[in-house]
Structure 1
Amino acid sequence: MALAITPSLPTARYRRLLSLLLLAGALAFVITLYSQTGTPNILLAWTQKHKNQPPADGPMAVYHAESARPPLEGMPHVLAKLDRDLVPVPGNGRRLVIVGDVHGMIEPLNELLDKINYRRPTRRRDEDGAEGNEEGGDHLVFVGDMINKGPSSSAVVDLAMELGASAVRGNHEDRILLERASMAIVRAGDDDSVPAPVIDKDDQRVLSSPAQRGNPADRACARSLSDAQAEWLAALPAILDLGFLPGCFPGTGRTIVAHAGLVPGITPLSAQDPWAVMNMRSLSYPREELRREEAIDALVEAAAVKFRISEEYLSDKDHWTNRRIRKKLRSDLSEADIEAEFLRRTKPSDRDIAVPSDGHGGVPWTDAWDAAQLAVEPDSRRTAVVYGHDSKAGFRDRPFSLGLDSGCVKGKELTALVVEANADGVSRRIVSVKCSKPKPAGKSLFGEGGDDEEDRP
């Protein structure tokens, strides 16, 4: 009598083991094939090259996350140059008046222009009475954030357009232009409504994100602007090159206007990231952060040796007891010792990669900018930056930068840099007027009409 054997189904454990064996066999085949054909094993080569390399010295790629915004439509160029006829030189009677963040505060702006006796340029006329080029007078330059937060954004833009002013786009011009693009209906001039700009599918997806909705103050500001005013704002560059102003910033070449600032080391200026130029307040350096962690690990390991803790035991970072020991050893380290070990390990190339931030948590960009300019030779190749944006820092006069946001919309001051020609080149002076804080017209997602870091809870 034959014995019938019924085969049993393989267990889940058996199936997993079989899958692993098949995967290992396939991997071995691929490696053998690569070695026989002479094709380089890139992963193996990278591992061998960097296996003993600290993380801070390894390859590093910086990926920029997709911002909740469409492209900078309407901005013809990131960088523009001021007409040389507008620059003060002996004999032309010109002055440059560079004004900090106005934020819709028309009354302090008019008071400031009265205080400096602002002179409108005159136009020459030919023999037939036709108007020619402007001559004499002053030229007005805004560092951005002319609008939003304050009560009279439309009036400020009207005055800027009437006076033929130059300006750069600030983060508030940028957000209000985005708000206009995202609204289904916008008000233009005295008309009740006009169709909103045509937005493609990708931009509509971005503009419908939560970050772009629910902001009454921004919508009110967007509706207050006419189409002509919005077009004028959209055409502003992110960076304005004033050229060479000898004596304005001693020991420098050209002077630049940028709303938030510039990232050191990025040349030409047209390669600067517009987001950073409009929003940045500080810089972080990923390699330096890794280097600091290396310094802490080295000091912890040295302390472990001192207390005769096994290196093999300490290297098991996943063990809960080990984590407690490392935490205790780390807490016993002094900041002075950490800083000394960090500086010992630091390399000049650690600042080759910088990540701009709109917060104050990193290195102030002005500190990094000063250090970078001091390393530039000759002096004529150095660049000074006039900026706004950072009302928390307020007015700041440094060797290679000048901050003009003195918090007018917060009830502080509106400040201007006045540049005029003299026998040696140009001279400069700072003029300011007091401001009264306006009553909030509405609250945005980030506070009363703004998204600045100091406005956030």
Structure 2
Amino acid sequence: MTPTKAAKEIFPTSTFLSDLPANVLPQSLSSPSNSGPPRGRLVIIGDVHGMRKSLEALLDKVAFDRCKGDHLIFVGDLVNKGPDSPGVVDLAMKLGASAVRGNHEDAVLSAAVEMNSSGYNPPNSGDLSAGAALSESPQHDLPVNDVQDSQASEKSISATAEKSRRPSPATQITASALSPSHLEWLAALPFILRIKLSQKLISSLGDTLIVVHAGLVPGIPLEEQDPHAVLHTRSLVRTNGKDDVFTPMESSGDEGWVVEWDRWQDKLPSKTTVIFGHDAKRRIQIGRYSIGLDSACVYGHRLSALVISASEGKIAHEVIQVDCADVPVAPTVSVKEEAKPVLG
């Protein structure tokens, strides 16, 4: 489905909004008739950023088993920064995972096209599978208010999207390391993945789950969300003082966008929970109808999964984490240790 808005920097979109196919939705989450121990879970994983060893450790800890009906979903940013982006994509494809596009997938896809068209050769990356993480320029892929002055940090995502940025050397190296099949798989990922749960199951997650990389603007239909904002939003500001009209911001702001999302959901009869990543500074966020899973694994902290299961007519969910098992990237700005969850 084609969105009504398109930012200039976005890599061409093949699918903007997609529904999780019924044949991969675990039976326990689609039918209340399931009895006995939980069989078939959704395992939704936060930003991996090429940290394959950490991903394998997390899958081991949650006892992921595709043969028992488990289905794996990534919130985007599988690639870039970490030591083994090709290995992460290989594993995701092998396990039949679903995913949404993150800003790093978008950057890598754009870099691949630019490099192919210009014949540009990236800096020598060495052996990407040997555990060497890629250093990042402080001007790339970071919150606006961490790398620019306070005046620049007030610019909206729409204004930021108009600025053309050459891919960082790390992004170019990642693009050159991925195979054509990897790039095709990434290019086909939707921006928004919708998961409809059985209304006959008791659930604190509501009737619908939405997986996006960064954020959504309350009150705007999914089909009309700005694709650049879906990949980059961290906070919202009210537009011209209006209570229910918001401008998405790439900066962190005083509070995350999920605060307004939860307030909006409180007014609706049918609830939708959004599961997202992108906000490593805040780390795990648990709202009433929002769960943020970026726990800064790439910076040496933890990798997180939301595990959703159902039994005896009820849906349960829990966050499971592992410590980083890869060589981390040194952050170019501080990642707050005392990240406070967004509580309902």
Per the normalisation by structure 2, the TM-score is 0.75
* Counterpart position of 2:310: 421
**Where do 1:303-452 residues align within 5 Å?**
350-361=242-253, 363-377=255-269, 381-436=270-325, 438=327, 440=329
Deviations 1:296-325 (A, max 9, x none): xxxxxxxxxxxxxxxxxxxxxxxxxxxxxx
Match of 1:176 among 108, 119, 122: 108
* Counterpart position of 2:64: 118
- Indicate the structure whose relative CO is greater, using CA pairs within 8 Å and at least 6 residues apart: 2
Distance 2:245 2:228 in 1: 17
Match of 2:232 among 279, 288, 292: 279
Distance 2:176 2:203 in 1: 40
| Rg comparison, structure with higher value | 1
The answer (yes or no) to whether the contact 2:53–2:326 under 8 Å persists in 1 is no
Match of 2:19 among 63, 73, 81: 81
* Counterpart position of 2:207: 253
Shift of 1:216: 1.2
* Counterpart position of 1:238: 191
Distance 1:152 1:403, change over 3 A: same
Unaligned residue ranges in structure 2 (runs of 5+): 29-33, 122-162, 337-344
Distance 1:420 1:439, change over 3 A: closer
Per the normalisation by structure 1, the TM-score is 0.57
SS at the partner of 1:409? helix
Distance 1:109 1:117 in 2: 12
Match of 1:103 among 34, 43, 49: 49
Taking only the aligned residue pairs, the percentage that are identical comes to 41
SS at the partner of 1:402? strand
SS at the partner of 2:165? helix
Deviations 1:422-446 (A, max 9, x none): 01232222211000562559xxxxx
The answer (yes or no) to whether the contact 2:298–2:328 under 8 Å persists in 1 is no
Distance 1:362 1:266, change over 3 A: farther
Distance 1:248 1:395 in 2: 24
SS at the partner of 2:274? strand
Which is helix-richer, 1 or 2?
1
* Counterpart position of 1:41: none
- What do you get for the CA RMSD once the two structures are aligned? 2.7
Q: Amino acid of the residue matched to residue 394 of structure 1? A: R
**Where do 1:12-91 residues align within 5 Å?**
69=9, 71-73=10-12, 75-88=13-26, 89=28, 90=34
Distance 1:432 1:277, change over 3 A: same
